[in-house]
Amino acid sequence: MSINILHKNTELIRKEALRLGFDFVGFAKAAPLDDEAQRLEAWLNKGYHGKMQYMANHFDLRTDPTKLVPGAKSVIVLMHNYFPKEEQHDPTAPKLARYAYGEDYHHVLKGKMKELLHFIRESIGEVDGRCFVDSAPVMEREWAKRAGLGWTGKNSLLLRPGAGSYFFLAEMILDLPLATDDPIRDHCGTCHRCIDACPTEAISPQGYLLDASKCISYLTIELREEIPTEFQEKMEGWAFGCDICQEVCPWNRFAKQHNETAFEPHPDLPSMSSTDWMEITEEVFQKIFKKSAVKRTKFDGLKRNLRFIKPE
């Protein structure tokens, strides 16, 4: 395939992805993630994945996209803003990670990606590929780095210059060769605000390494058993997820409000008071979080979190 056609197809896909509402698009060559595989193995050996056993499963699939899509040539990485227009009103109310304000991003982004894949097949020809939104063992931040969309910050999240980190990541692995983007350098410098701000000390003193078993997001979402009492005074009011390391990151001063109606919160959510949260019933839970990622923790899980952060 000629260089001209590679670039033409790449820009055609980029333009359509932006039209569908994605904010940034990057392209990388599909190849094994050898260095990343070694780091992942070391991370798992330290037990930093906690009870998330799925992180250790399908190791070969996680580190080699050609095992997920035979004949894979390219990885397309898509970023979608979720920074909200409206925050929770009551500063004393239990807090919800911003990504969970609106509809579950898995469904919203998967729908857009299916449209994009259909467009690719209509415009370019028969292409084999798969779409991923946390739905398979894909190392999304590593691919975003390779696709030039940002760098992995000291808080382990993907950071993009002039935009920050309030973005969902999604990937398409295709057997279509495309032009690739160049990685960008790390811009964290000597900053260590995320390290200092993490109340559970989940981020290593040097940064770039997260002990997920100490992360508030893990404790309130992934952990199914009771939260260890050692974290009793360290939750800082977070009932589902945590945004502390993003809130203190200087790059998020560039965060702009999203334009996706599906990510707007239920009308009752922003105004919920501390009392509303603590007295929430299953009926209210089902109404407000009907389409939200908060349903992952289920009503009983949310009540567990609420009891833990505000014990009677």
pLDDT the model gives residue 74: 98
Tens-digit pLDDT profile for residues 113-164: 999 999 999 999 999 999 999 866 689 999 999 999 999 999 999 999 999 9
Query: CA distances (Å), 252 to each of 1, 12, 170, 174, 276, in order?
Result: 40, 30, 20, 32, 30
- Quick one: average pLDDT of 6-27? 97
Q: List, in sequence order, the alpha helices (H) in 93-237.
A: 105-123, 140-146, 193-197, 216-217
Which tokens is 74 given? 């390219």
Burial zone of 105 (CB within 10 Å; 0-12 exposed, 13-18 middle, 19+ buried):
buried
| CA–CA separation, 53 and 131 (whole Å) | 23
Statement: residue 97 has pLDDT above 90: yes
Which tokens is 73 given? 């040539």
Residue 23 annotated as catalytic = no
105-123 and 3-19 helices, crossing angle to 10°: 140
pLDDT the model gives residue 42: 87
Chain CA centroid to CA 13, Å: 22
Residue type at position 99:
Y
| CA–CA separation, 195 and 201 (whole Å) | 7
Q: Which of 128, 134, 175, 181 is catalytic?
A: 134
Which uninterrupted H or E stretch holds 4? helix 3-19
| CA–CA separation, 65 and 137 (whole Å) | 9
Contact residues for 84 (Cβ-Cβ < 8 A; gap 6+)? 98, 101, 102, 257, 258, 263, 264, 265
Residue that wins the pLDDT comparison between 60 and 258: 258
pLDDT range class, residue 109, cuts 50, 70, 90:
very high
Tens-digit pLDDT profile for residues 204-227: 999 999 999 999 999 999 999 999
| CA–CA separation, 82 and 100 (whole Å) | 9
Q: Percentage of residues in the chain with pLDDT exceeding 70?
A: 98
Statement: residue 54 has pLDDT above 80: no
Spatial contact of 180 and 27, defined as CB atoms under 8 Å apart: yes
Residue type at position 80:
H
